[in-house]
Amino acid sequence: MAAPIRVAYLTHYPELYGANRSLLDLLVELRDREAVVPHVLLPREGDLVTALRQEGIAHAVVPFRPWMSERHYSGRLHHRLLQHWRQERQARERAAANRALLPALAGAVRGWRAQLLHANSAVVGVAPALRAATGLPLVWHIRELPERQYLLHLDAGARGYGRALRRADSLIAISRAVRDDILRYTRGGGRITVVYNGVLRAARYRELAQDAGRRWSGDGPFTFLLLGLIHPSKGQLEAVEALSLVRRGGRAVRLVIAGDGRDQALRRRIAELGMDDAVEMTGFVKDPFPLFQRAHALLMCSRNEAMGRVTVEGMACGLPVIGHASGGTQELVDDGVNGLLYPGGAAALAGCMEKLAGDPALARALGEEAARGAAARFSVERYAGEVLDVYRAVLSGAH
């Protein structure tokens, strides 16, 4: 058996949201295979640090900064100019802070005797400088469409971002949509491998499939679930508008929105539509699976979703998915086979919701196919094996 590869992973935040859940699954699986000795660099304490300690995985907290940010402008022209200059200054300060921290980051990597760097997000802008400082090959795992999906501003600009991506020894994209977005910046350069996230282990898929039929034996209202960060790009307002349209048609339907974030406008709109009794807002939920089990269908209204871990989790639980026909969602949802796709706004979404609420047998059949497909395509075991292949190719010089 080959000696395990010593990998230093970099992640830009410490919470156990989607990107870090996928990272934790990856490094635990590869460690348990004795294929990788993992080490993790992250900017502050949080739930991921707790999980790493529980797993006995070496880590270091070094307060490096992201190189992308949300920018908001308001007021008159001179106000906007002042806001722009302030945000540009903050970007320069972030870059200077990262340069100052580079010796500490490189020291941690050298102390671990790492052979490979793995950056877990496009937001980890310190990765190319750390590659140069250590001389180690860099695998850059791109999990988002930063401008289109999260409306992020690129501190280095589109050209600078593209140059940095081209410097990586290998790029991993979590979907074809992400690969195509990378190519917008690299202008065709870079070595890119598409590796879909592994969301659950094979045994967990089997366990969830056994319980999937229970939701169809109740007599309550048809329940839609939308789970994730509350953000303008995620489509929660559109889902509420669509639910209102379906209820006007006389359907007994309800919507559960789980997640935290910018919820003030959403709550106002729910009240304006008189939908307080039909929409439940749970806030952030650490374990989403009880919500999946209570629902009859999952909504994925996000524009330009990179892949959608939540989408796969819902499918694994036997939920049909109604997804917006954009980004990586189109790669997960096969319209009329395991869910429905809608290309427009609230009216188109309402049409799909009405179709499933009015035909539970169809909803159940789509959900059963969704569970079968998710188990076949998105296991942690398959995902880890494909990432390991990338590591080996990079270290052998074949990639």
Cα separation, 297 vs 204, in Å, equals: 20
Residue with tokens 């282990």: 201
Residues 6+ positions from 332 with CB-CB distance below 8 Å: 307, 308, 311, 312, 315, 321, 323
141 and 16 together in one domain: yes
Residues 6+ positions from 76 with CB-CB distance below 8 Å: none
**How far, rounded to the nearest angstrom, does the alpha carbon of residue 247 sit from its chain's CA centroid?**
31
Residues 6+ positions from 298 with CB-CB distance below 8 Å: 224, 225, 226, 227, 292, 310, 311, 314, 315, 319, 320, 321, 322
The dihedrals phi and psi of 38, each to the nearest 5 degrees, come to: -90, 145
227 and 366 together in one domain: yes
**Token pair of 349 as six digits:** 């979404």
61 and 155 together in one domain: yes
Q: Do 364 and 346 contact (CB within 8 A), yes or no?
A: no
SS3 15: coil
What is residue 135's DSSP assignment? -
Domain that holds residue 308: 202-377
338 and 311 together in one domain: yes
pLDDT means per 10 residues, the chain with 399 residues, are: 93 92 96 98 97 97 95 88 92 95 98 98 97 98 91 92 96 96 90 96 94 86 94 91 95 94 92 95 92 96 91 97 96 97 96 97 97 96 98 85
Cα separation, 310 vs 326, in Å, equals: 16
383 and 373 together in one domain: no
Concatenate the DSSP letters of all residues of 273-308 into one string. TT-TTTEEEEE--S--HHHHHH-SEEEE--TT-SS-
Concatenate the DSSP letters of all residues of 114-126 into one string. -SEEEE-STT-TT
Cα separation, 179 vs 312, in Å, equals: 19
278-299 exposure pattern, b = at least 16 Cβ within 10 A, e = fewer:
bbebeeeeeebeebbeebbbbb
Which residue type sits at 236? Q
pLDDT at 398: 53
What is residue 187's DSSP assignment? T
pLDDT at 189: 76
243 and 334 together in one domain: yes
What is residue 180's DSSP assignment? H
pLDDT at 148: 85
Which residue type sits at 354? E
Q: Do 74 and 80 contact (CB within 8 A), yes or no?
A: yes
pLDDT at 382: 97
365 and 391 together in one domain: no
**Token pair of 274 as six digits:** 């008189």
171 and 267 together in one domain: no
- The torsion region of residue 259 among left (phi > 0), alpha (psi -120 to 50) and beta comes to left
**Token pair of 14 as six digits:** 């410490």
**Token pair of 328 as six digits:** 């990586």
Cα separation, 106 vs 148, in Å, equals: 32
164 and 211 together in one domain: no
232 and 134 together in one domain: no
159 and 270 together in one domain: no
Q: Which residues sit opposite 181 in a β-bridge? A: none
Q: Do 299 and 320 contact (CB within 8 A), yes or no?
A: no
13 and 145 together in one domain: yes
Residue with tokens 């600009």: 157
pTM > 0.85? yes
**Token pair of 292 as six digits:** 């999946």
Structural domain count of the chain: 2
Count helices and strands in the chain by DSSP H and E runs: 16, 15
**Token pair of 35 as six digits:** 């294929």
Residue 316 belongs to domain with CATH number? 3.40.50.2000
Q: Nearest-CA neighbor of 7 among 177, 123, 141?
A: 141
